[in-house]
């Protein structure tokens, strides 16, 4: 165990920094193992006199420190492991420091590090302090100018803002200078130096300014940046139209790097991307990759206003930029790809990740009030639930008042570091509504449960709905207040005709009743349409009501939801030992009808055909028995495959396209349906189906079809699996992003031997634990997406994960911490599994040199 107990940071302790850093001049002399950084800060005291200047700085070798050109002697400052403290300073002065750092040894991938021989940075949240001494907090905004010197074999020297000078130097070195006119916090600083190919284009903004767009990629990869570039231009146009936001610099750059801790980063004018979220072509990327690229390119671009122009006062306000920006990217994707399909995918992700988080020991409010490591709070709650809150705000206020609130926020807080309170105040003012109760959504953790009971009075032709809400306690919050929950409700007849259009009922008390007159017959309730609030809904609907919704609800989200609920209940019944065979037949039949509905899009049908995932099912059954759930889900899949075999084979054939690949939503929808058919047919691998699957795989001309054929063959197991995996490896051994898929498909293999195979794969020459993509492809995929095998009764899956966490924590604490969550869910599983999971958490906690990142999550998981 660590002997020192790290102290949490608390929102209540926020104090403004007592100095302004008016300008920041950085000079980098880049060398892989010994880079020198000279920083010149123009400092002005803004707080009451007498306070010392305390700068953050970690893992820095301090070479010199001077005030107004006068070197400080050793007794005039104190440099410890985390700070540089200068007790006495003038009120206005220039501080110059010089430090040396070792980017090549930096495998934490935060600060300045090297990826594939190139220098790059990642500063959010607290990486800048490993580059130089600075007040590394989001509320200190400064105007940056940067000079970079490097060897000539790194031709591109990039930083934020506009290039102002470049030239050659002695010894085959060269330099570039950049000036960013917009004051920014240190977390938005970026630097890249490397040998890169560049793809350029331009965009004319709504006020007629010409912006140069450049995407930098590894040599030879330029063609794979085309889709990202196209997405960027669409995002720029969309933000002008939907939010009135225009880009502000003359240059916008994106750089792709292979080693990156997460998806991408919105540094001002110089976004840095994990190459997996930027590079795509038909041969190497799936439709899901294209979709993610479009969304993430847009997300990082949208941050230019929601994050960069207006940033966070402190890291507790992280949702201010992240929740809002996710809402913006989801709205963009809905406009690009269809609202219903997008909403279903977003809700699926929300439930799988955020509802799981809210139901476990790591539950926290969208605006937390304390943390040990802010890195641990880039969570589904901050991002996805943060976005749901904005969505509800829009539902409650209406589109017009919502837009007015946004406009007010952008004009009032431009150039500031602000708070969630200030943000909500803009909407309260614009709509003239009291939003004080709404604010509880930010402060209260946990997923609310909503129940609706309906009572129809045939004589009076009136329907009475009784709505109730409650939220179970979460760590540190034993009792909960009622929240304002918008519940969108419509009514259908039993024949599937609409009886009443959608109305939003605002449930803002523990219990309320609504009486609707003029309801001609006993209705079927379609509640929480479009998933109008992030809650768990229970109604008194009978299965027959759900079949009405499944067949006819004009709200496509609820049509899908009805099917999922029917399937879930059938799977849970079977896993619990009471299979409902008649119900299963009926479900397969109704699904068959839905699949032949000509009015429905293929993308939507693909979602109808996908059963609730195993991770989702483990969330719904408490205590969860992943093996039983896996078997029950497979049984329903088999029933569908048998009952609908002819239809699935016909659709599989019809959805095949002879046309050239297009990444658009329509073509992707057809591929999704075809792959969903293949996936279902694999449950019934008789000769005809098996040869169809092999044919699918062999004939595939794009990565979506190829993966759509490969995974079912892996599921079938035996020789078919070995043949397919080895041919895939041979074809793609030199393509890192495709090889990641090869690893992750094996981690999702449902066959009983998968644990041994995954453990063996860690010794494969292509397994690189220092590369987060590769590590996650294997380790995270097993732990998060293959519950039946990860939760092996022997505990071997848990042991494997704990070993990986400890190994990775030695060099990359941020990535190691992200692997803890699957073990943290121990309370939700069968006691014998839970005990084994806990045992591994205890083993990790007992380790002497844990990072704060892992320590925080492991401790919370055990408490």
- Binding flag, residue 322, ligand B3K (CB under 6 A): yes
Q: Quote the CA–CA distance of 66 and 70 in Å, as a whole number.
A: 5
Instruction: Judge contact between 703 and 285, C-beta under 8 A.
Output: yes
- The 8-class DSSP code of residue 826 comes to G
CB-nearer residue toward Zn ion: 264 or 651: 264
- Binding flag, residue 568, ligand B3K (CB under 6 A): no
Report the nearest approach of Zn ion to the CB of residue 302 (Å).
8
Q: Edge-to-edge strands of the sheet including 511-516?
A: 511-516, 462-470, 449-457, 536-539
The stretch among 297-305, 386-394, 429-437, 841-849 that binds ligand B3K (CB under 6 A) is 297-305
CB within 8 Å of 717: residues ≥ 6 apart: 749, 751
Helix (H) or strand (E) holding 605: helix 602-609
Catalytic position from the list 98, 300, 384, 388: 300
Task: Indicate which of ligand B3K, Zn ion, none lies near residue 35 (CB less than 5 to 8 Å, by partner kind).
Answer: none
Name the one residue in this structure whose structure tokens are 């992750």: 744
Q: How many residues bind ligand B3K (CB under 6 A)?
A: 12
- Binding flag, residue 228, ligand B3K (CB under 6 A): no
Joined together, the tokens standing for residue 77 give 């400052």
Report the nearest approach of ligand B3K to the CB of residue 452 (Å).
35
Task: Indicate which of Zn ion, ligand B3K, none lies near residue 191 (CB less than 5 to 8 Å, by partner kind).
Answer: none
Task: Indicate which of ligand B3K, Zn ion, none lies near residue 184 (CB less than 5 to 8 Å, by partner kind).
Answer: none
CB-nearer residue toward ligand B3K: 312 or 858: 312
CB-nearer residue toward ligand B3K: 772 or 824: 772
Output b/e per residue, 569-596; b: 16+ Cβ within 10 A: bbbbebbeeebeeebbebbbebbeebbe
Task: Indicate which of Zn ion, ligand B3K, none lies near residue 262 (CB less than 5 to 8 Å, by partner kind).
Answer: ligand B3K
Task: Indicate which of ligand B3K, Zn ion, none lies near residue 125 (CB less than 5 to 8 Å, by partner kind).
Answer: ligand B3K
Say if residue 501 is exposed, middle or buried (CB neighbours under 10 Å; 0-12, 13-18, 19+). Answer: exposed
CB-nearer residue toward ligand B3K: 319 or 609: 319
Separation in Å, CA 312 to CA 298, 320, 409: 20, 7, 13
Work out which of 184, 292, 299, 367 binds ligand B3K, going by CB under 6 A: 299
The mark string for 306-345 relative to Zn ion (x by CB under 5 A, - otherwise) is ----------------x--x--------------------
Q: Quote the CA–CA distance of 515 and 746 in Å, as a whole number.
A: 54
Task: Indicate which of ligand B3K, Zn ion, none lies near residue 375 (CB less than 5 to 8 Å, by partner kind).
Answer: ligand B3K
Phi, psi of 371 (to 5 degrees): -155, 160
SS3 10: strand
List the interface residues with ligand B3K, window 114-133 (CB under 6 A).
124-125
Q: Which residues pair with 254 in a beta bridge?
A: 215, 271
Report the nearest approach of Zn ion to the CB of residue 188 (Å).
12
Q: Output the CA torsion 585→586→587→590 (10° steps).
A: 130
Q: For residue 628, how far is the Cα from the chain centroid?
A: 29
Work out which of 113, 260, 378, 560 binds ligand B3K, going by CB under 6 A: 378
CB-nearer residue toward Zn ion: 322 or 809: 322
Report the nearest approach of Zn ion to the CB of residue 253 (Å).
18
Q: Which residue's CB atom is positioned nearest to ligand B3K?
A: 124
- The 8-class DSSP code of residue 208 comes to S
Task: Compute the radius of gyration of the chain from its Cα atoms.
Answer: 28
Q: How many residues bind Zn ion (CB under 5 A)?
A: 2
- Binding flag, residue 108, ligand B3K (CB under 6 A): no
- Binding flag, residue 357, ligand B3K (CB under 6 A): no
Active site includes 300? yes
Count CA atoms within 13 Å of residue 69 on its CB side: 0
- Binding flag, residue 314, ligand B3K (CB under 6 A): no
List the interface residues with ligand B3K, window 257-296 (CB under 6 A).
262, 264-266
Catalytically active residues, by annotation: 300
Residues forming contacts to ligand B3K in the complex (CB under 6 A) are: 124-125, 262, 264-266, 299-300, 303, 322, 375, 378
């Amino acid at each position: 165990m660590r002997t020192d107990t790290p102290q949490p940071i608390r929102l209540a302790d926020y104090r403004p920094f007592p100095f302004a850093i008016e300008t920041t001049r950085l000079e980098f002399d880049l060398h892989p193992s010994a880079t020198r950084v000279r920083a010149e800060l123009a400092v002005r005291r803004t707080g009451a006199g007498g306070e010392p200047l305390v700068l953050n700085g970690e893992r820095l070798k301090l070479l010199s420190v001077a005030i107004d050109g006068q070197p400080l002697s050793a007794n005039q400052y104190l440099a410890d492991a985390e700070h540089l403290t200068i007790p006495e300073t003038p009120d206005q002065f220039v501080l110059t420091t010089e430090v040396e750092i070792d980017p090549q040894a930096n495998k934490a991938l935060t600060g300045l590090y090297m990826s594939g021989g190139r220098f790059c940075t990642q500063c959010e949240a607290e990486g800048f302090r490993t580059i130089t001494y600075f007040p590394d907090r989001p509320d200190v905004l400064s105007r940056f100018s940067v000079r970079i010197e490097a060897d000539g074999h790194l031709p591109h020297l990039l930083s934020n803002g506009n290039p102002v000078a470049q030239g050659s130097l002695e010894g085959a070195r060269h330099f570039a200078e950049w000036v960013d006119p917009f004051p920014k916090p240190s977390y938005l600083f970026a630097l890249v130096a490397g040998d890169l190919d560049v793809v350029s284009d331009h965009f004319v903004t709504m006020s007629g300014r010409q912006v140069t767009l450049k995407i930098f990629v590894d040599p030879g990869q330029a063609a794979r940046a085309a889709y990202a570039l196209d997405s960027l231009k669409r995002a720029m146009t969309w933000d002008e139209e939907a939010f009135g936001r225009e880009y502000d610099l003359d240059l916008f750059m994106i750089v792709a790097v292979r080693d990156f801790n997460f998806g991408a980063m919105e540094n001002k004018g110089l976004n840095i991307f994990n190459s997996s979220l930027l590079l795509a072509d038909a041969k190497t990327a799936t439709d899901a990759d294209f979709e993610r690229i479009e969304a993430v390119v847009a997300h990082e671009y949208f941050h230019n206003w929601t994050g960069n122009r207006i940033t966070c006062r402190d890291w507790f306000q992280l949702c201010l930029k992240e929740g809002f920006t996710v809402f913006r990217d989801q709205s963009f994707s809905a406009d690009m790809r269809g609202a219903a399909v997008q909403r279903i995918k977003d809700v699926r992700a929300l439930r799988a990740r955020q509802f799981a988080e809210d139901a476990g020991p790591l539950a926290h409010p969208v605006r937390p009030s304390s943390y040990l490591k802010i890195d641990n709070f880039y969570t589904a709650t901050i991002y996805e639930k943060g976005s749901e809150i904005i969505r509800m705000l829009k539902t409650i206020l209406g589109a017009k008042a919502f837009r007015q609130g946004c406009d007010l926020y952008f004009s009032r807080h431009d150039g500031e570091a602000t708070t969630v309170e200030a943000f909500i105040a803009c909407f309260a003012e614009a709509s003239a509504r009291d939003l004080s109760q709404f604010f509880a959504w930010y402060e209260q953790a946990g997923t609310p449960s909503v129940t609706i009971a309906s009572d129809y009075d045939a004589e009076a032709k009136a329907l009475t709905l009784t709505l109730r809400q409650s939220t179970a306690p979460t760590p540190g919050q034993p009792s909960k207040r009622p929240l304002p929950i918008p519940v969108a409700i419509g009514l259908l007849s039993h024949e599937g005709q609409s009886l009443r259009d959608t109305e939003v009922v605002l449930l803002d008390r523990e219990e309320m009743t609504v009486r609707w007159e003029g309801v001609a017959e006993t209705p079927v309730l379609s509640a929480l349409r479009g998933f109008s609030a992030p809650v768990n809904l229970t109604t008194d609907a009978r299965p027959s009501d759900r079949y009405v919704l499944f067949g006819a609800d004009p709200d496509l989200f609820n049509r899908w939801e009805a099917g999922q609920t029917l399937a879930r209940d059938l799977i849970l019944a079977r896993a619990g030992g009471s299979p409902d065979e008649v119900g299963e037949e009926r479900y397969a039949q109704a699904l068959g009808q839905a699949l032949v509905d000509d009015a429905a899009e293929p993308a939507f049908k693909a979602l109808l055909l996908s059963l609730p995932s195993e991770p989702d099912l483990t969330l719904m059954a408490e205590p969860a028995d992943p093996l039983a759930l896996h078997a029950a889900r497979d049984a329903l899949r088999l029933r569908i495959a048998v009952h609908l075999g002819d239809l699935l084979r016909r659709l599989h054939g019809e959805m095949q396209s002879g046309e050239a690949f297009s990444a658009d939503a329509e073509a992707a929808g057809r591929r999704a349906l075809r792959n969903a058919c293949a996936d279902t047919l694999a449950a019934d691998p008789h000769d005809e189906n098996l040869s169809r699957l092999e044919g699918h795989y062999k004939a595939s001309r794009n990565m979506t079809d190829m993966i759509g054929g490969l995974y079912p063959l892996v599921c079938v197991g035996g020789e078919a699996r070995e043949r397919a995996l080895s041919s895939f490896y041979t074809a793609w051994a030199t393509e890192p992003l495709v090889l990641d898929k090869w690893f992750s498909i094996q981690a999702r293999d449902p066959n009983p031997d998968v644990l041994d195979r995954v453990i063996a794969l860690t010794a494969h020459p292509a397994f690189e634990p220092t590369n987060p993509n590769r590590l996650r492809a294997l380790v995270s995929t097993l732990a998060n997406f293959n519950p039946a095998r990860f939760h092996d009764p022997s505990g071997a899956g848990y042991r494997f994960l704990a070993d990986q966490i400890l190994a990775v924590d030695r060099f990359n604490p941020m990535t190691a911490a992200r692997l803890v969550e699957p073990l943290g869910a121990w309370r939700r599983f069968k006691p014998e599994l839970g005990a084994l999971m806990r045992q591994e958490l205890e083993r990790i906690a007992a380790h002497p040199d844990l990072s704060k990142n892992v320590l925080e999550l492991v401790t919370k998981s055990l408490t």
